[in-house]
Amino acid sequence: MTNTSERSFFDLHITGIGYLNRIREVTPKKGDAFLACEIAALNGPSDDVSYVRFDTRVSGADAQHLVRRCFDAVEAEKKVMIGFRLGDLWTDTFTYSKGKRAGEQGVSLKARLLFISWIKVDGIEKYKAEPKPAETEQEPDETETSPSPEEKPVSKATAPKAKAASPKAARPSSEPADDAADARAPAMAESF
């Protein structure tokens, strides 16, 4: 019998590069406070760039930590450019209250900021996400045949060293996932 309570989803993600602006803590009348920022994403040919603005809710501990590190640089009006992935895009209509468009309807693109792949402040790279390993970090099955003599230096000697260097592989699997973020916190504590 199949479990009817399982749900599946179709993800729609937007990836791009853009400038980080308006980092702020939002406290709605109903619900919990959340971190938000605006991204002016680059669009079009490189010799005639246009910008698409996304008002985002920052999701995930890593993304929140990185955006908070950028706060001082954004406040100092430095050019903070990021590589990003957004999800859950929706639109929100509003009415302009001031300026030459006062009284007109406007549309805001909203999304969740899911992932930051890199950060540059005034053209200098300050952060780059570690690439995900192509293979899973599972130990090989004990019942597998042993590799041929030519393969031993590559698979036996190299693989354990690579795994030992990985902080995730060195941790026992019984530790909570939050500890991994805490372990990186000292290296990422100061702002850009």
Residue 89 near residue 109, CB atoms below 8 Å: yes
Any idea which architecture 13-129 has in CATH?
Beta Barrel (2.40)
The string of pLDDT tens digits covering residues 114-155 is 999 999 999 999 999 988 776 544 444 444 444 444 433 333
Transcribe 85-148 into DSSP letters. EEEEEEEEEEE--SSTTTT-EEEEEEEEEEEEEEEEETTEEEEEPPPPPSS--PPPPTTSPPPP
pLDDT of residue 133: 77
pLDDT of residue 9: 84
Rg (CA), the chain: 22
pLDDT of residue 11: 86
On average, the pLDDT of the chain sits at 77
Residues shown for the chain: 192
Q: Give the global pTM.
A: 0.66
- For the chain, the structural domain boundaries read 13-129, 145-192
For residue 180, the tally of other CB atoms under 10 A from its CB is 14
Lowest mean pLDDT among 8-12, 19-23, 57-61, 180-184: 180-184
